Structure 1
Amino acid sequence: MMTKEEIYTELKNVLVQSFMIDADDISPEADLYADLDFDSIDAIDLAAKIHNVTGQQMKPEQFKGVRTIGDAVNVIDELLRAK
């Protein structure tokens, strides 16, 4: 089982490598849309990457509440605990 810190580190790596986001711009409080310039396509891509990490499919309603990096970490943590 991954800790929230490990989830955050993994998510940060995905954002840097797959979305070309500067690591310095990533924090738990960073808003995916306002601060990191995500759009709906990026959100779908991120959900797919989360699926690759967790092996769990995110439900659309789970991702609707995700606005910040911290929100994403919490959703991933819930998915991993549901295994």
Structure 2
Amino acid sequence: MNMNGEIVAKINSFLAEEFEVEPEKIVAEGNLKETLDLDSLDYIDLVVVIENNFHFKVKPGDFLHIHTFSDFYDYIISRVNSKQLV
């Protein structure tokens, strides 16, 4: 499994656990908010989980363009990859 695949697997694992969603419901084209049934407090939990698992700060506007799990994966992968370049 390549690094991006490992990141996606890690994301799916903590999303399923944190938001009590069956792992098979987490699909790339799926709507993040609807699938995880996120409200505003859940987004705070999501930010904390991301920061704890991937060790980067999430900016307030980062979620504006994240609609699907694929968007979410791309966001985290790009942040992790840019962090490694520093």
TM-score bracket, shorter-length normalisation: 0.7 to 0.9
Matched with 1:50 is 50
Deviations 1:12-70 (CA, angstroms, capped at 9, x unpaired):
11111111001111111110123332222212211111111111001111122111111
Q: What is the aligned residue count?
A: 82
Which one has more relative contact order, counting CA pairs under 8 Å at least 6 apart?
A: 1
**Residue ranges of structure 2 left out of the alignment (5+ in a row):** none
Matched with 1:81 is 81
| Structure-to-structure mapping, 1:2-81, within 5 angstroms | 3-81=3-81
**Residue ranges of structure 1 left out of the alignment (5+ in a row):** none
Richer in helix (by share): 2
CA contact (8 A) 2:12 2:23 kept: yes
d(CA) in 2 for partners of 1:11, 1:55: 13
Any runs of at least 4 consecutive aligned residues in structure 1 with deviations exceeding 2 A, and if so which?
A: none
Residue 4 of structure 1 and its aligned partner are, at CA, apart by 2.1
Identity percentage of aligned residues? 29
d(CA) in 1 for partners of 2:55, 2:23: 25
Question: Which has the greater radius of gyration?
Answer: 2
Q: CA RMSD in A?
A: 1.5
Secondary structure of 2:35's partner? coil
CA contact (8 A) 2:19 2:36 kept: no
